[in-house]
Amino acid sequence: MAKKVFLEFERDIEALEKKIDELRELEEQESGRGVSVAAEIASLEAKEAELVKKTFASLTPWQMSLVARHPNRPYTLDYIDAMFTDFHELHGDRAFAEDKAIVGGLARIADINCVVIGNQKGRTLRERTERNFGMARPEGYRKALRLMRLAEKFDLPVITFVDTPGAYPGIDAEERGQSEAIGRNLYEMSTLRVPIVSCVIGEGGSGGALAIAVADVVMMLQYSIYSVISPEGCASILWKDSAKAPQAADALSLTADKLSALGLVDRVISEPLGGAHRDPKLMATTLKQAIVDELRALLRMPREALLERRAEKLRGYGFFDLDASLSEAGGTTAEAAVEAK
């Protein structure tokens, strides 16, 4: 069992859990003497549940970023193991190398055959190094595209899990065409003739996330984040100080609720109390049901209608109504402003 990790804003929760653990140890030690502290444990557990509920009801964008990066948070392979059957991982881009930062292959979810692809960060230091902390190189994105084309060839829907700080920015990645690989995926996914469902399960960073997230339905877990740049990167650029990351997180509108309000995310999936890492099985069950429901609806659509719907969705991103904004601000309409000028 993974060691429990508490974030900086969970210190009070950690203190309560330590007391509960101490009481449980005491109860085990005194079990033969008729000593019971069950009532005290139950009381502390109720207090802890209330404290967790109160704490997570008012998280700041920066705190949500920390939850999205929690080391115990379920990763792509955890969800594949819990939600899919008959998973057969496929490797390599057939051009340069195997990139372990992206995993994918053939699988079955419920009674639906599919192709599943996702970022994988790794748990131990060795695995994180092998998987490059979930930051893919061009060969990773080309592997993902190869699997998507395979899905199209055999008429299988595509499911992607996004969890990356961003594409790897190293010199070797740039030499092998990092931006071309990302751009190619964006283009190909926009016209792929099979349903695509994508879910941000942790971090969704920049083009590294977008390269596997152009989809008919884009979902986010409640405490995941999705943005053009990390809060630390944004703070380093704007203020030359990564310590201002909390301020940058506020400005980036990177949380699921804000992105849903902007129309950039289609569905927000609720997480267990305290985050997905506190009850991975429940999270997997909830997410599986959401994905299956979306897939069934998409599979019923004629392919031409599916492609037109996806194109319309993409064209709608970033739409800005100047007249409405001016009216809300108490100004005149754009047309009237031009005529007055």
Query: DSSP of 209-269, one letter per residue?
Result: HHTTT--SEEEEETT-EEESS-HHHHHHHHTS-GGGHHHHHHHHT-BHHHHHHTTS-SEEE
Residues 12 and 128 in one domain: no
> How many domains does one find in the chain?
2
Closest by CA position to 59, among listed 47, 67, 71: 67
Lowest mean per-residue pLDDT among 27-36, 78-87, 199-208, 242-251: 27-36
Task: Clarify whether residues 49 and 134 are in a common domain.
Answer: no
Dist CA 147 CA 142 (whole Å): 9
Q: 40 in a domain, yes or no?
A: yes
In a shared domain, residues 49 and 84: no
- Asked whether residue 45 is assigned to any structural domain, the reply reads yes
Distance CA 230, CA 208 (A): 12
Q: What is the percent of the chain where pLDDT is above 90?
A: 79
In a domain, 3, yes or no: no
Can you tell me the distance from the alpha carbon of 20 to that of 26, in angstroms, rounded to the nearest whole number? 10
Residue 211 lies in a domain: yes
Tell me what the mean pLDDT of segment 225-251 comes to. 93
- Residue 31: predicted pLDDT: 65
Minimum mean pLDDT range among 81-85, 270-274, 295-299, 321-325: 321-325
pTM equals 0.89
Tell me the pLDDT tens digit for each residue of 90-143: 999 999 999 999 999 999 999 999 999 999 999 999 999 999 999 999 999 999
**What's the mean pLDDT when you consider all of the chain?**
91
> Does some domain include residue 327?
no
Domain encompassing residue 23: 8-58
Q: Which amino acid is at 296?
A: R
Tokens matching residue 26 = 């005491």
Q: How far apart are CA 205 and CA 254, in angstroms?
A: 10
Q: Are 132 and 44 in contact, with CB atoms under 8 Å apart?
A: no
d(CA 301, CA 298): 5
